Amino acid sequence: MSDGDRILDAATLGDHADRLYRAAWALCGSRADAEDLVQETFARVLAKPRRVRAQDDLGYLLQALRNTFLTFRRAAARRIVPVDAPDGFEPVDLSRARQPEGALEVHEVFTHIAGLTDGFRDALVAVDVVGLSYAEAAELLGVKEATITSRVYRARLQVARGMERVDPGVMLGEG
């Protein structure tokens, strides 16, 4: 171990669960898949002692989450595709039952984020969903800070354009 390295403290993993869940939701585009992804990431991290730099638990966990996501995607590409639920079917989220319009909008935003190409999605998730600085995101993703800046800008434009195409009347079942 080098001077700044330490063993990841399993007791503090829960402190990062909310941010990891938001990042996973943006990667997957599905709440259920995001929950599974975070759970699998924690299981893999806890399976054996992990070394992290200084206080960089979140950076390590985000990288582990992204690697787990990519592993899931590669495995899913080799599996038979299950039949999707009928169009318009969305299970009720009781926590959002009092604010259905907000829940629909959040669902749409995360769906558009999940549809971005890898570089744009990863940059947007790191900066806007998880809340990392541009410098932290650049370090985590192994690119220059200017690259993160341009990717986040372009990703935001793509999401905004995608949201403009959504007809609110159709989303609420009025159209």
Residue 41 vs residue 79, higher pLDDT: 41
Mean pLDDT, residues 87-106: 63
pLDDT single digits (tens) 119-159: 999 999 999 888 889 999 999 899 999 999 999 999 999 98
Whether the pLDDT of residue 90 is over 80: the answer is no
The pLDDT score that the predictor gives to residue 149 is 94
The two structure tokens encoding residue 36: 């599974």
CB atoms near residue 5 (< 10 Å): 11
Question: Percent of the chain scored above 70 by pLDDT?
Answer: 77
The pLDDT score that the predictor gives to residue 108 is 83
- Domains of the chain, start order: 1-84 (1.10.1740), 99-175 (1.10.10.10)
Whether the pLDDT of residue 113 is over 70: the answer is yes
The CA-based dihedral angle spanning residues 91, 95, 96, 97, taken in that order and rounded to the nearest 10 degrees = 70
pLDDT single digits (tens) 63-86: 888 999 988 888 777 776 666 767
Q: In whole angstroms, give the CA distance from residue 84 to residue 168.
A: 23
State the pTM of this model.
Answer: 0.53
Compute the mean pLDDT over every residue in the chain, rounded to the nearest whole number.
80
